[in-house]
A = this chain, B = another copy of it.
Amino acid sequence: MSNRHITHSFPADFSAEPALPSTVGRCSECPIRHNAVCSQCESTELQQLENIKYYRSFAPGQPIVWRGDRMEHVASVVSGVASISQSMEDGRTQMVGLLMGGDFIGRPGREVAPYDVTAVSAVTLCCFRRRPFETLLMTTPNVARRLLEIALDELDAAREWMLLLGRKTAREKIASLLVLIARRSHVPGTARTTPFELPLTREMMGNYLGLTLETVSRQISALKAAGVIEADGNRAISVPDMARLRAEAGEDDFASGGH
């Protein structure tokens, strides 16, 4: 086991961008209105959230939270992609979650962040200070209930990923990741063969899949060569036959939920 993963390479600059213009401010027009922590709120509750929220933006590569930080806030991802990761002292890193629109960061009742969260693309967060949010949790059951749902969904996703990390081959891992990203970035109403963008570098994919970046690259090349996927440049992928890709991922037809 070597030290070659040590490349954290985050910019030392820790400051967030200024808040977005107020045009994004209305909860009722929020892009994540229907899947975030607020999705089950009635208008009264929504108003309470509206009163204590504010936006922050992060540039690609910027750290959002470091493990060990005091967590003074919780937040929902409004747009962009962020990663949750854990790492060992020698630099080996494992991404343990991929946060996209509607996903929640932070946890009530926890002072200190248990993982690193990093902006992968440009990210906008809808933030709440932790204390007022916790108070709100006590009084608005619809937020508490949704938060439990979100936590349980993430637990399912984490456990599905454990099967991948522990038992799948490199090729199955890559296919599984592509299925995940295709599903997550699919816009309802468009064709299932619509090309999508890989938001991650090969190194990040490796960190998510428990592989080296070279193995990631080789397996993507192999899937291309086998005609399972088609690539336009390095980041745009299209999947002519999603069922075939799912088969390559070793997915039980059963397990298509989650994530």
Contact = CB atoms under 8 A, between A and B. Distances in A.
Interface of A: 1, 67-68, 84, 86-90, 92-94, 96-97, 107-110, 114-115, 138, 141, 144-145, 147-149, 151-152, 154-156, 158-163, 165-169, 209-210, 250, 252, 254, 257-258
A165 B86 contact: no
Nearest to A159: B96
16 contacts: A88-B163, A88-B167, A94-B167, A96-B162, A96-B163, A107-B152, A110-B152, A114-B159, A148-B151, A151-B151, A155-B155, A158-B158, A158-B159, A162-B162, A165-B210, A166-B210
B97 A159 contact: yes
Given A89-B252, A144-B144, A250-B88, A161 B162 contact: yes
B167 A92 contact: yes
Contacts of A114: 156, 159, 257-258
A96 to B, nearest CB: 4
Contacts of A67: 254
Given A114-B258, A151-B152, A155-B155, 14 more contacts: A68-B254, A86-B163, A88-B167, A89-B250, A93-B167, A114-B257, A115-B159, A138-B141, A144-B144, A144-B145, A151-B151, A154-B155, A166-B210, A167-B210
Nearest to A68: B254
A159 B116 CA distance: 12
Given A147-B148, A151-B152, A166-B94, A159 B89 contact: no
A214 B164 CA distance: 21
A144 B154 contact: no
Nearest to A169: B1
Nearest to A115: B159
A159 B86 CA distance: 8
B88 A166 contact: no
A209 B167 contact: no
A95 to B, nearest CB: 8
Contacts of A97: 159
Nearest to A1: B169
A248 B230 CA distance: 43
A162 B160 CA distance: 10
Contacts of A166: 94, 165, 209-210
